[in-house]
Amino acid sequence: MEISSKQATEEELQSYYKELEQYNVAPLWTAMADIQGKEPASKVTPYVWPWKDIRPQAIRASELVGTEQAERRVLRLMNPGLGGRTATTQTLFGGIQTVLPGEISPAHRHTPAALRFIIESDGGYTAVGGERFPMLPGDLVLTPPWAWHDHGNDTKNPMIWLDGLDLPLVNFLEISFHDQYSEPTHPITESPGTSLAKYGSMALQPTWTERKDEGSSPLMYYPWSRTREALERLAMGEDGSLYDGMLMEYTNPATGGHVMPTIACFIQMLRPGERTKSHRHTTSAVYHVVEGKGHTLVGDTKLDWESKDTFCLPGWAFHEHVNESSTEPAFLFSYTDTPILEALGFMRDEVKP
């Protein structure tokens, strides 16, 4: 037995391929390179959405459209490499939502998992599954799949935040369900601070609630004051990772694992002047600059960023972060598709040789 070799002319082949079309069949061998590359070549473009450009447009949206018409007044962060898909990376969506004083984003629930990372706000809230969570700059609020949620601004200034969802994945799988609640807000059943008191008091947890894996974190609110303190305290005695600096994951206290079934959330501190070493992984990410000024090299692309900018990192792209300040730390929030890739056995990483 041997590998066979046939000598059809180009003309014969083209006519054969044409003939196949009527049967909705196509040869694999003409598309092999696209279907099965040697390694991933992401269509996702490394890209920065600068706050100085995006904030005025978010405010403009709030002058033009109400939350009743819009349901969610969100500017979608459209990856320029993804041909108009509602996607910031292959699997992750990022959007900028604005809620003006006195407005609410009405109650609904959906299968996509969502998170809010607050950029600008004097207060206001997101209610999730019967509890209201404050929304102050740097706070992270989770909205697990199928949880009722609404947002409200009872302050005097606009609230603007970053929405992170697994929307591209959910739409690819064609499993998007969505319900509108019968009222603008859903009933509040928990007193303020309940989730944080139960699940966010160091590692102390109540004994009378079952500690089982619900898929998503029972702690749904991670206030910035505690997050920042955790990083600063850790940085006193630790150097962190060569590749990620002082990178911490927001975890589900019931499992120690990722906060939601499809999305993992991280916060990282780059010390003054820190430059991480280059590596790459199959996971893709959306980053948000909480504080600081620097750049991220993604392959040959330099992404300059400063406070409140949002940028994205394609999967399997070498990247390194640089804090350009010699005196101030930089803080980067990020969310990734790590849980999906882990569940399916697709995690790989590599340091730059």
Binding site for ligand 1HN (CB under 6 A): 72, 74, 95, 97, 105, 110, 114, 149, 163, 165, 167
Q: For the beta carbon of residue 56, count every other beta carbon within 10 angstroms.
A: 10
Q: Which is nearer to ligand 1HN, 42 or 97 (CB)?
A: 97
Task: Please tell me what DSSP assigns to residue 245.
Answer: B
Query: Cβ 163 to ligand 1HN, closest distance in Å?
Result: 4
Q: Which is nearer to ligand 1HN, 86 or 255 (CB)?
A: 86
Query: Cβ 178 to ligand 1HN, closest distance in Å?
Result: 8
Nearest to 338 by CA among 242, 277, 266: 266
The first and second tokens of residue 233, run together, are 């305290």
Q: What sign results for the dihedral spanned by CA atoms 227, 230, 236, 240?
A: negative
178-209 burial, b at 16+ Cβ within 10 Å, e below that, comes to eeeeeeebbeeeeeeebbbebbbeeeeeeeee
Give start and end residues of each alpha helix (H) in 202-252.
Answer: 224-237
CA-CA distances (angstroms) from residue 5 to 13, 32, 92, 104, 128? 14, 18, 44, 68, 63
Q: Which is nearer to ligand 1HN, 163 or 337 (CB)?
A: 163
Q: At CA 299, angle to CA 238 and CA 297, rounded to 5?
A: 45
Q: Which is nearer to ligand 1HN, 79 or 105 (CB)?
A: 105
Query: Cβ 115 to ligand 1HN, closest distance in Å?
Result: 10
Nearest to 324 by CA among 273, 290, 289, 269: 273
Query: Cβ 270 to ligand 1HN, closest distance in Å?
Result: 28
Query: Cβ 50 to ligand 1HN, closest distance in Å?
Result: 21
Please report where in the chains the tokens 């279907």 appear, as a residue.
35
The first and second tokens of residue 320, run together, are 């390194």
Amino acid at 184: P
Q: Which is nearer to ligand 1HN, 97 or 216 (CB)?
A: 97
62-88 burial, b at 16+ Cβ within 10 Å, e below that, comes to beeeebeeeeebbbebbbebbeebebb
Task: Please tell me what DSSP assigns to residue 45.
Answer: P
The Cα 232–Cα 331 span in angstroms is: 11
Please report where in the chains the tokens 């079934």 appear, as a residue.
261
Q: How far is CA 313 from the centre of its chain?
A: 11
Q: Which is nearer to ligand 1HN, 94 or 314 (CB)?
A: 94
Residue closest to ligand 1HN, measured at CB: 163
| 193 Cβ contact partners less than 8 Å away, ≥ 6 residues apart | none
Q: Which is nearer to ligand 1HN, 76 or 293 (CB)?
A: 76
Query: Cβ 299 to ligand 1HN, closest distance in Å?
Result: 29
Q: Which is nearer to ligand 1HN, 117 or 243 (CB)?
A: 117
Query: Cβ 286 to ligand 1HN, closest distance in Å?
Result: 13
Query: Cβ 110 to ligand 1HN, closest distance in Å?
Result: 6
Query: Cβ 150 to ligand 1HN, closest distance in Å?
Result: 8
Q: Which is nearer to ligand 1HN, 95 or 292 (CB)?
A: 95
Nearest to 124 by CA among 160, 82, 149: 160
